[in-house]
Structure 1
Amino acid sequence: MEYDMPLFRPPSEADSLILQATYGCSANSCTFCLMYKTKRFRIRRLDEFKRDVEFCAERLPSARRIFLADGDALVIRASQLLAILELLYQSFPRLERVTSYANPLNLLVKSQAELDAIRQAGLTMLYYGVESGDDEILRRVKKKAETPGMIEGCGRAHRAGFDLSVTVLLGLAGKKLSRRHAQNTASVLNAIQPRYIGALTLMLGPLEKYFAQSMGEDFQFLDMMETLQELRWLVEGLELKNSVFRSNHASNYLALRGDLPRDKQKLLKVIDSALADPDSPLIRPEYFRAL
């Protein structure tokens, strides 16, 4: 078996078997994301996917976790996805969970009955990029999503029984819209009530010039302290019932982990400590940041 590179997975899937049900991303338009720019999107044929499953089942029969790559396996039509899940649970007798990325359109195109069936067949958690809760920012970064649709789609996923792991992107709006971005993103997260929230910080590499141009003449990137302030506004605005919040991705200046609502004040206290001292050992040096 050979992967179609590059290959990506969420940090929490580090110990999972990765199987590519699709190549690339069906949207692939976001100005901040380089992940699948070198790939043409394609849904793999079931017989092609089955050969990879057979190869892995011979060598890793005790696999307990599988991540379906690439960018959004949930784009696959429901009947084929159900066949994939049946194949996986038959081939790996100890399998406990199957996860995948999902983009906003995936959850809106599929019916509630289809999502219910997919969840019951064993797709347990979806990794979902909100990025921002501000529709103007989403339009500027070509996300192909609006907040009402994201809230509706995530509601469907919740009703089907999926756990949602949602990402948001600090720094995405630049200096002028930083506070609005943070506050509107918090509002959308409050409406979605995801089980897991991961905050990442904008890192663009070779896309930096293109991204700045696409955001408009008045766009300015956040510095470290401005990013921490945006993180504070975000956490301050969260009103969650049962969520895990993390900012421990390598792109972030400050690693946080807390259960909300219980740990909200503790998280704010840590952020305030970092804001009060730019040389705080809590802050990750620039040269240690990575995607």
Structure 2
Amino acid sequence: MQYEGRIFRPPSEAHSLIVQATVGCSHNKCTFCSMYKEKQFHMRDLQDVLDDLTEMAGRYPDVRRIFLADGDALILPMERLEAILTLIREKFVHCERVGIYGSPRSILRKTPEELRSLRELGLGIVYLGLESGSDEILKRVNKGETADEIVTAGLKVKEAGIPLSVTAVSGLGGKELWREHAQATGKAFTRMKPDYIGLLTLLLEDDVPLERDFKAGVFELLSPEEIALETLVMLKNMDCEGSVFRSNHASNYISLRGTLNRDRETMMGQLRDALEGNAAYKKEPMRAL
């Protein structure tokens, strides 16, 4: 099997077969992200993808989950996605779910009928990056879409019957916009009510533009305590009945997990304990992306 560059996947795809359908990220301009900076985005030759899947089916016939990489494989034209999902259905008879990253742009380009067709062919989850519910922050980090556009994309996935996982980044507004980030992001999650919510914490590396802003004093990172307060405000602004909430990534200072709204008060209590000095924050050297 061929694979170009470093492998990135959602935490929940840790035990999945990962097959590269596109290389890199179709946007690849976010100022905080270093994931695909060494790659020039392109679509892999369809036959190469199908050959990789056929080879892996011979080696791992009992695979139950497959993730189609890289950063925005949903941007592929429908005929390519249909061919890939059809082969997966034929070759991997035990596969229960196919996952994929979808940018707001690639989701919005698909019609509702096309998304429903992908679901029927086995697409079992779409991972969408919200990053922040604040348009000002999204503009500053060069996300390329507004919060409304991202929410519309998420709702479109849900309306097609495809489970939706959405991530945001704690600390992305810095000290200047932390409260706006917390409130607006909580409200954006409330509008989408994703099946899964993932909250990472900003960690700058590899000389990305936002790291250069930090070194120049233009952007101020939040302390662990300030991240805890921001997360507390964010949860206060979230009404997402039934959404599975996870803030237990390697980048997070405090590990939180629960189901909203049932466990919201418990998670907020954990944050208050930390703010009152009754719980420890993860040490900086232990954080990773």
TMscore range, shorter length = over 0.9
Distance in 2 (alpha carbons) for counterparts of 1:154 and 1:182: 19
Provide Cα deviations, 1:221-246, integer angstroms capped at 9, x if missing partner. Answer: 11111111111111111111210111
Q: Is contact 1:141–1:215 with CA below 8 Å preserved after alignment?
A: no
Correspondence 1:119-268 to 2 at 5 A: 119-207=119-207, 210-211=210-211, 213=213, 218-268=218-268
Distance in 2 (alpha carbons) for counterparts of 1:215 and 1:250: 23
The alignment's TM-score, normalised by the length of structure 2, stands at 0.96
C-alpha distance 208-30 of structure 1, shift in aligned 2 (>3 A): closer
- Structure 2 counterpart of 1:77, which letter? P
Distance in 2 (alpha carbons) for counterparts of 1:227 and 1:86: 44
- Structure 2 counterpart of 1:287, which letter? P
Match of 1:50 in 2: 50
Instruction: Quote how far apart the aligned CAs of 1:211 are.
Output: 3.9
Percent of residue pairs identical? 44
Distance in 2 (alpha carbons) for counterparts of 1:73 and 1:208: 23
- Structure 2 counterpart of 1:290, which letter? A
Match of 2:82 in 1: 82
Distance in 1 (alpha carbons) for counterparts of 2:52 and 2:133: 38
Distance in 2 (alpha carbons) for counterparts of 1:215 and 1:126: 35
Distance in 2 (alpha carbons) for counterparts of 1:159 and 1:81: 19
SS at match of 2:15: coil
Instruction: Quote how far apart the aligned CAs of 1:216 are.
Output: 9.3
Distance in 1 (alpha carbons) for counterparts of 2:107 and 2:192: 13
- Structure 2 counterpart of 1:284, which letter? K
Q: Is contact 1:32–1:207 with CA below 8 Å preserved after alignment?
A: no
Instruction: Quote how far apart the aligned CAs of 1:68 are.
Output: 0.3
Instruction: Quote how far apart the aligned CAs of 1:210 are.
Output: 4.4
Distance in 2 (alpha carbons) for counterparts of 1:189 and 1:208: 27
Q: Is contact 1:29–1:142 with CA below 8 Å preserved after alignment?
A: yes
Q: Is contact 1:183–1:234 with CA below 8 Å preserved after alignment?
A: yes
Provide Cα deviations, 1:164-186, integer angstroms capped at 9, x if missing partner. Answer: 11111001110011011010000
Provide Cα deviations, 1:51-75, integer angstroms capped at 9, x if missing partner. Answer: 1011101100111110000001100
Distance in 2 (alpha carbons) for counterparts of 1:76 and 1:2: 18
Match of 2:282 in 1: 284
Distance in 1 (alpha carbons) for counterparts of 2:196 and 2:151: 15
C-alpha distance 175-212 of structure 1, shift in aligned 2 (>3 A): farther
SS at match of 2:229: helix
C-alpha distance 111-61 of structure 1, shift in aligned 2 (>3 A): same
SS at match of 1:207: coil
Q: Is contact 1:164–1:196 with CA below 8 Å preserved after alignment?
A: yes
- Structure 2 counterpart of 1:152, which letter? T
Distance in 2 (alpha carbons) for counterparts of 1:48 and 1:159: 32
Q: What runs of 5+ residues in structure 1 fail to find an aligned partner?
A: none
The alignment's TM-score, normalised by the length of structure 1, stands at 0.96
Distance in 2 (alpha carbons) for counterparts of 1:212 and 1:237: 31
Match of 2:272 in 1: 272
Provide Cα deviations, 1:133-189, integer angstroms capped at 9, x if missing partner. Answer: 000100110101111111111111111011111111001110011011010000100
Q: Is contact 2:195–2:243 with CA below 8 Å preserved after alignment?
A: yes
The CA RMSD over aligned residues, in Å, is 1.6
Distance in 2 (alpha carbons) for counterparts of 1:253 and 1:211: 19
Instruction: Quote how far apart the aligned CAs of 1:119 are.
Output: 1.1
- Structure 1 counterpart of 2:174, which letter? G
- Structure 2 counterpart of 1:101, which letter? Y
Match of 1:91 in 2: 91
Number of matched pairs: 289
Distance in 1 (alpha carbons) for counterparts of 2:135 and 2:16: 34
Distance in 2 (alpha carbons) for counterparts of 1:14 and 1:258: 20
Provide Cα deviations, 1:196-217, integer angstroms capped at 9, x if missing partner. Answer: 1111000012336644539996
Instruction: Quote how far apart the aligned CAs of 1:260 are.
Output: 0.5
Instruction: Quote how far apart the aligned CAs of 1:11 are.
Output: 1.0
